[in-house]
Each structure stands twice: as C-alpha cells, then as structure tokens.
Amino acid sequence: MLSFRNAFLAGAAVLAMGTATAQIVPQPASPEPAAPAAVPAAVPQGTMTTVSMGDLKLAFEQAGLSVTEKTAPNGLMYYEARNNGDLVFGATVLCSGTNQSECKKVVLESGQMTRAISYEELTRFNTSGFGSRAVTYDVKKKEPSLALVVDIHGSVDTQFLPGQVRGLMSDMQSFVGQLQGQQTSGFSAADPGETLLPGTFKGAPSGGPGTLQALPDAN
C-alpha cells in the first residue's frame, strides 16, 4: 500500500515533470527588427550640387560687382552686373526647380566691346588657353563679347562661382591686353579688380545678351 509520503513524492515528481515539459515548449520566434532605411549621403557642409539665381547673385557680389535683375525677351531671368564701367551678364540654366533654381549650368557673358576685331584676333584669343570664348553677334560690326559656360559637376564649394566670375573678368583683361599687343595666355592677367580699360565692355550684345537668348528651352 502506497504510503502518504510516497504518494506525496510521486505527485511532486509528476508535477515536476509537467513543469519541465512546460518549460521546454518552444516559444514563437520574435520577428527580426526591420533594417533601417538607407539614408542618402549628405552633401558636405559648404558645398552645393546645384545653383540658383540667388547663388549667382551672391557670386557676383562676392566678386565685387553690383547686380541688377533683368528678363531676356525669351523670358529667361538674368543678371546685369557692373565692374568699373564694364558689364557682365549671367543666368542659371538647365534647372529642375522653379525660378531658375536647382540648376546645373551657368552662362556668363561680358558686355560688348565698341571696337571691331578681325577673325585673326578672335582666333588668337580662342586658341590661347582661356576658359571663356570671344564671340561676335553682328557680322557687320564684329564687336566682340566673351562668353563662359560653367557646368556644375558633382558638388562644388561656395567659392566656385565667385571664382568663375573673377575668371571671366580676368579673361576680359587678357583679351584687351592681346588687342594691345601684349603677350597673354590663360589666367595670366592682372588682378581682376584692376581693369585695364574701364568701360571697354560697356554695351549689351546686339539685341541683348546673345548667349542667354540663344537658350529658349533652357528651363
């Protein structure tokens, strides 16, 4: 006959087995945490991947020019800037934003000289290693302007655009220097703040900034 003590121990053993069984019942696996969404690489501080008209205005001002906003006949907004009597024009193009913002290209152009040049003089400058190009819009007068198209590749720092404006002004001086018989070649001009002949590039190209008007579908 099973004693009370043995019955108690047997019951305890059964309870223990049940508890052990309960402890090893597999539990539902917890769902794996979702991987965090990839975060686009941030543009380094002090750089930009596109430019706006506001950026261009600031670049002109940092280069020491006074700026006036205007609109070309094709509706393109552009700036007319002045430096010691010389004119410089600029506009942002190839834009994905409104009001010519988020743009990948900038067009800069000097005013027009009041002196006609020969084809040889134009070619000499255009083959001397300068960033800008001498162009003429009136085949009769042959009064030149200098044009510089700036592409925004990848990211650029905030001094890139002011540097391009200064580069155009430097080229303007070198162009005048060549016409005066000086030996000049790519970025060899004096400080852009010391214009050789103030007011040399004082007129707008025939009918307005020609390079800017030549881009009717720029935006």
Query: Once rounded to an integer, what is the mean pLDDT over residues 154-175?
Result: 90
pLDDT range class, residue 17, cuts 50, 70, 90: very low
C-alpha angle 82/86/88, rounded to 5°?
60
Is residue 213 over pLDDT 70?
A: no
Instruction: Show the domains of the chain with their CATH numbers.
Output: 47-213 (3.30.1460.70)
Give one DSSP letter per residue of 60-99, joined into a string: HHHTT-EEEEEE-TTS-EEEEEEETTEEEEEEEEEESSTT
Which comes out higher in pLDDT, residue 201 or 215?
201
What pLDDT was estimated at residue 38? 46
Query: Once rounded to an integer, what is the mean pLDDT over residues 56-62?
Result: 95
Query: Once rounded to an integer, what is the mean pLDDT over residues 203-215?
Result: 63
What pLDDT was estimated at residue 217? 53
Query: Once rounded to an integer, what is the mean pLDDT over residues 95-116?
Result: 91
pLDDT range class, residue 28, cuts 50, 70, 90: low
What pLDDT was estimated at residue 65? 93
Please tell me the pTM assigned to this model: 0.72
Q: Which amino acid type is present at position 103?
A: C
3-state secondary structure of 168: helix
What pLDDT was estimated at residue 206? 60
What pLDDT was estimated at residue 48? 84
Pairing label, strands 156-157, 47-48: antiparallel
Residue 195 CA, distance from chain mean position: 27
What pLDDT was estimated at residue 39? 41
Q: How far is CA 62 from CA 49, 113, 117, in A?
A: 19, 24, 32
Q: Which two tokens stand for residue 65?
A: 């020019």
What pLDDT was estimated at residue 130? 92
d(CA 95, CA 25): 64
Least confident of 2-16, 85-99, 146-160: 2-16
Query: Once rounded to an integer, what is the mean pLDDT over residues 46-60?
Result: 91
